[in-house]
Structure 1
Amino acid sequence: MQSWPTPHVPELPGRGPGLSLSDTATGTRVDPAADGVGRLYVCGITPYDSTHLGHAFTYVAFDLIGRVWRDAGVEVRYAQNVTDVDDPLLERATETGVDWRDLAADQVELFRGDMLALRVIPPDDYVGVVESIDLVVDAVERLVAAGAAYRVDSDVYADLNGDTAFGGVSNLDRAQMDELFAERGGDPERPGKRHPLDPLLWRGRRDGEPHWDGRSLGEGRPGWHIECAAIAATHLGLPVTVQGGGTDLIFPHHEMSTSHLRLLGDGSEPIRAFVHSGLVGYDGHKMSKSRGNLVFVSALTADGVAPGAIRLTLLAHHYRADWEFTDADLVAGAARHAAWRSAATRPAEGGGTDPEPVLHALRAALSDDLDTVAALAVVDAWARTGSAADTVVIDAVDALLGVDLRA
C-alpha cells in the first residue's frame, strides 16, 4: 500500500539527548531506543471515517517520536497497518450502499492527504490487511501447529491459557477485562471457546462477506489482533521498540496482539515499551465514529485553517492527556502559528539572539516524554523577543515539531 510523500526535515547542529518515554505496561519511564535502534509500530486506521482530530492527535504524537529519535541519531524503522477489512468497515459499506473496497480506498486516500498536510513523516512500511492475508495465515497456522490455537466450527481462536504473561500490558483485573472485551469487539459468550477472553484469529467464511484462501484454515478472513502481530513481526522484526496507539487500544488490542507475538516468538518479550496517546473529546464525549461527534482535519483545511495551526492546536496538549476540543483551542493554535511565522520573517537588522539555548531547551523538553507544552513555551518565548529571525531556530521548529514556518 502506498503511503504519502515525506516532508523535508532539516538537519540540525549537534545531536539531541535521546528520548525518555512513559511505558504503559510498567508505569515507568524508559529509553527503549538506547541501543540506537527504533522500531516503531503504530496501529493504523480502519478506513471508514477518516481523519478526525482524535486520529490526528495520535499520529502527530508518534511522528514526534520518530523526529526526536532521528535528531538523536537513532536508526528509525516505522511500520503502520491499515485495517482495510473489518466488521465496522463492512457495516458502514452496507449502510451507505458503497462497495467496501471503494469505501476503504476513498478513506485511505483522505487519510494520506491529511497526513501530508500535517507534515507527518510516513511509515517505511504502510501495510494493508488485505495485502497481508498470507502473513496472517502463516501466523495462525503456526499457532495451531504449536497447540496455541484451536477451532470452534470454522473459526480459529488463540488459547490464552498458553500465555502465562497475559495481562501484563494493561494490568487490568478480570472484571475490567471482561467488560472491555465485550465492548470492543470480543465475543466472550461464544459457545465452544475454552476461555471467554480467547480472541478470534481467523473468521471462517460467511455468506455475503469477503473471504480469502486460508489454506489449512479454510476460507475466511483475519481476526483483528493477529493482523498487527503478523505485520509487526514481518516488517519490523522483534523486539519492536515501541508499540503505539491511543489508550483505547491498550485492551484488548495491544494485550492480545502482544500475546500472539509472545506465542509466535522465542518466549522473550516482543515489545520493549508500550506508548499510548490520550483521547480527544468533543461535545462532552470522546470523539468517535460510533457517536458521530467528529471534527475532521479535511473539513478544517477546506475552511481555510492552516495545517500548521491544526498541528500546533494538537501539540498544545501533552500526548498522554485526554482533552476536550473547543473552537478556542483552534483559535489559540492559529494565533500561535501566526505569531511564530511573523517571528520567522523578522529582518536581520540589529542582529539576533544566540539560537543555541533555544535549540537546547527545545530538545530537552521533547526528550522528557515529549513535553510539547514546554516545547511550545520555548518557541513562544523566542517569538516574543523581537530579535531577528534565526535559521537554526526555524529549522528546529520544522525538524522537531513538524511546523514549517517558511511555508
Structure 2
Amino acid sequence: MSESTNGLRLYNTLTRTKETFSPIDPDNVRMYVCGPTVYDFAHIGNARPVIVFDVLFRLLRHLYGEDHVTYVRNITDVDDKINARALRDFGAEISGGQLSLNEAIRRVTEKTAQQFRSDVAELGCLPPTVEPRATEFVQPRADGKADMIGMIQTLIERGHAYEAAGEVLFDTGSMPEYGQLSKRHLDEQQAGARIAVDEHKKNPHDFVLWKLSSPEEPGWESPWGRGRPGWHIECSAMSAAYLGETFDIHGGGLDLIFPHHENEIAQSRCAHGSHAMANVWMHNGFLQVEGQKMSKSLGNFYSIHELLETETFGGRKWPGEVLRLAMLMTHYREPIDFSVRKLEEAENTLRKWKRAADTAAASAPDLPQAIVDALSDDFSTHAAFQVLTQLAGEAGEGSGAAASLKRALEFLGFDVSSAQVNQNEVDRAIARRLELIAAKNWGEADRIRDELLAQGIQLKDGKDPATGERVTTWEVKR
C-alpha cells in the first residue's frame, strides 16, 4: 500500500480502531456503498448513509483529485418485496396478459429508482461515479465484468458452496474467519444459539446464493435451474465488477454489518482467494424518530419524498439542505434522534451561515484547511461546523471569512445561492401569521415571527390609516 500523505483517519469497523487511511492506489481511490432496494420510496433512515458517504466522497475527491476517486452505489432491483409490490400494483395487467411479471417489476423499480435519485439530489448529494443495477449482473456479461452466476460457480468449484433442496448455499464452515467483521464466531453461535436449522443446511448460518423460481416469480437461467440470486451475492458481484477483488472502503448502515456485510466478505474472499474484500469498513449509526424506533405501526415512518413535499412531519415541508444538515450535526457513528426540534435547529443554523456567506461577492478559491482537518479526523462534522460558526462570526470584519465560509458551504453540499430573500415566501408567511393573530393563536404567530427574524427579516406591525386594519411591513436586517 502507498503511504497516506493527507492525514485522513477513519474508524474501521473490522478492527474497531481509528486508522490512518492508505489507499491501495492513490490514483484510483475506490469506495462501495450499499444502495436502496427499490420496492418503495426510500425512507429517512436510508438518507443517512447517502448523505454521510456523499460528504466522504467529496472529501476524498478534494484530497486525491476528482478524477482519482471511484464511488459505486448500487440499486437492488431484484428482491421478494419487489415481486410482491409488482403483483400488488400490476396484478390485473399480469393476470390479463398485458404485462409479464418481469415487465411489471421493471416498472416498479424504474419509478422508485428514479424517485430515489431525485430525492437524494434534493438532499444535496452528488451522483456516484457508477450506479449499477443488480439485474444487470446476474448472468455472464458481454463486457466480461464480474457476474453473480460466475461467482457462485467459482465458490462451488473451490468447495465453499453446495447445492441442496433447490438452493445453492454458501458453506460458512469452509471459512475459518467467518464472523470477523461482526465478531460473531461460528463455534460460539452454534454452542448457545437457539436457531431453527433447515435440514438441508450443513451449518445453521449457511446462506442462500441462488434459489429456484416458480413460474410466477422472476428468474434467470443458470446451471442450477431457473432462479434468482440471494441478496448478499449481488453486492459482491457489482463491487468486483467496478472496483476489483479488493478495494479501499465499503460503507453502509450499522444494521448491515450482520448478516449482509459479513456474508459479502465471506463469498468475495472465498471466490477471489483474497485477504480482504475491502480494507476499511465504515458504518453509520441508527436513526430514531422523536425518540422512538421508526415503524409504520407507530405512525412515524417517513419517506424522504414525504418530508420534502408534504406537511406530514411537524406540519410543514422541509428543504433538502435542512434535512442534510440535521443528519450531519450528529457524528456519523452515533445514533441520531430525528426530530422537529433538530430540524428547526438545523434550519436556523443554516440561515445564519448563509446570511454571513452572502456578504461575500464570491467564494474563496481554497477550502479552509480547518474544515479539511476536522473532516479528516474520522469525519468530525461537529468540529467542521464549529469552524463554520467561527467564520460566520468573523464575516463582517473584512477578513475574507465570508468568502471562506461560502466555499466551505459549497464543498459540504449546501446551495449558497439560495441565501437571497424570497419575497413571495415572506409575504405568504406574513399572511399566515395575520390569520393566526385573528384566530388568537398567539404562540404559532410568534413562532412565524421568530422564524422570519432568524432569517434576518424583521416585522413591524401597524394599522392601515384608512381602514384601521392590522398591517405588517418587513425589512431585511443584515
Normalised to the residue count of structure 1, the TM-score between the two structures is 0.86
For residues 75-123 of structure 1, the C-alpha deviation after alignment (integer angstroms, 9 at most, x for no partner) is: 2111111111112222344455564332222211110001211221222
| Correspondence 1:376 to 2:381 | no
What is the root-mean-square deviation in Å for CA atoms of aligned residues?
2.7
Alignment partners' CA distance in 1, 2:172 and 2:290: 39
State how far apart, in whole Å, the 2-side matches of 1:168 and 1:207 are: 39
Distance in 1, matches of 2:274 and 2:308, equals: 47
Identify the residue that residue 58 of structure 1 maps to in structure 2: 49
Aligned AA (2:342) = D
Contact 2:358 2:402 in 1 (8 A): no
Q: Which runs of 5+ in 2 are unaligned?
A: 92-103, 140-146, 311-316, 419-478
1:279 aligned partner: 286
User: d(CA) in 2 for partners of 1:141 and 1:34?
Assistant: 31
1:266 to 1:346, Cα distance in 2 relative to 1, 3 A: same
> Using the alignment, how far apart are the partners of 1:236 and 1:116 within structure 2?
24
Residue matched to 1:169: 181
Which structure is larger by alpha-carbon Rg, 1 or 2? Answer: 2
Q: Name the SS of the counterpart of 2:256 in structure 1.
A: helix
**Cα separation, 2, equivalents of 1:68 and 1:18:** 12
The letter for the 1-side match of 2:207 is P
Of 409, 413, 418, the match for 1:397: 409
Residues 391 and 404, structure 2, Cα contact 8 Å, conserved in 1: no
**Which residue, 241, 248, 264 being the options, matches 2:248?**
241
Q: Please list the CA deviations of residues 41-67 of structure 1 after superposition, one character each: whole Å capped at 9, or x if unmatched.
A: 101111123222211111111111111
Q: Are 2:212 and 1:204 aligned?
A: yes
Question: Is residue 154 of structure 2 the alignment partner of residue 142 of structure 1?
Answer: yes
Shift of the 77–335 alpha-carbon distance from structure 1 to 2, 3 Å rule, reads same
Q: How many angstroms does 1:38 deviate by?
A: 2.0
1: CA distance, partners of 2:21 / 2:165: 42
Aligned with 2:115 (options 94, 110, 114): 110
Q: Tell me whether 220-229 or 306-315 shows the greater mean CA deviation.
A: 306-315
Match of 1:194 in 2: 202
Separation in 1 of the partners of 2:40 and 2:357?
36
Write out aligned runs for 1:243-322 (5 A).
243-287=250-294, 293-303=300-310, 304-322=317-335
Deviations 1:159-194 (A, max 9, x none): 11221111111112559968xx99xxxx95322111
Contact 1:344 1:406 in 2 (8 A): no
Which stretches in structure 1 are left out of the alignment for 5+ residues?
1-15
Mapped partners of 2:408, 2:369: distance in 1:
10
C-alpha contact 2:288 2:294 (8 A) present in aligned 1: yes
Q: How does 1:331-342 map to 2 (within 5 A)?
A: 331-342=344-355
Matched residue SS, 2:257: helix
2:211 aligned partner, one-letter code: R
Aligned-partner Cα distance in 1 for 2:7–2:295: 34
Q: What letter corresponds to residue 269 of structure 1 in structure 2?
A: A
Q: Relative to 1, partners in 2 of residues 1:127 and 1:280: Cα closer, same or farther, differing over 3 Å? A: same
Task: Find the aligned partners of 2:203 and 2:148 in 1 and give their Cα distance.
Answer: 22
Q: How many residues align?
A: 380
Distance 1:267 1:237, change over 3 A: closer
Higher relative contact order (CA 8 A, sep 6+): 1
Counterpart of 1:26? 15
What are the residue-to-residue correspondences of 1:357-368 with 2, within 5 Å? 359-368=368-377
Q: CA contact under 8 A between 1:213 and 1:219: conserved in structure 2?
A: yes
The CA distance in 2 between the partners of 1:202 and 1:283, in whole Å, is: 40
Separation in 2 of the partners of 1:291 and 1:95? Answer: 23
Distance in 2, matches of 1:286 and 1:91, equals: 25
Identical amino acids, percent of aligned pairs: 32
Q: CA deviation at 1:316?
A: 0.6
2:42 alignment partner, SS class: coil
1:1-40 counterparts in 2 under 5 A?
17-35=6-24, 36=26, 37-40=28-31
Q: CA deviation at 1:386?
A: 4.2
Normalised TM-score (structure 2) = 0.74
Deviation at 1:289, TM superposition (A): 6.6
One-letter code aligned to 1:234: A
Residue pair 1:279, 1:286 contacting (<8 A) in 2 also: no
Q: Which residue of 2 aligns with 1:7?
A: none
- Deviation of 1:379 after TM superposition, in Å, equals 0.6
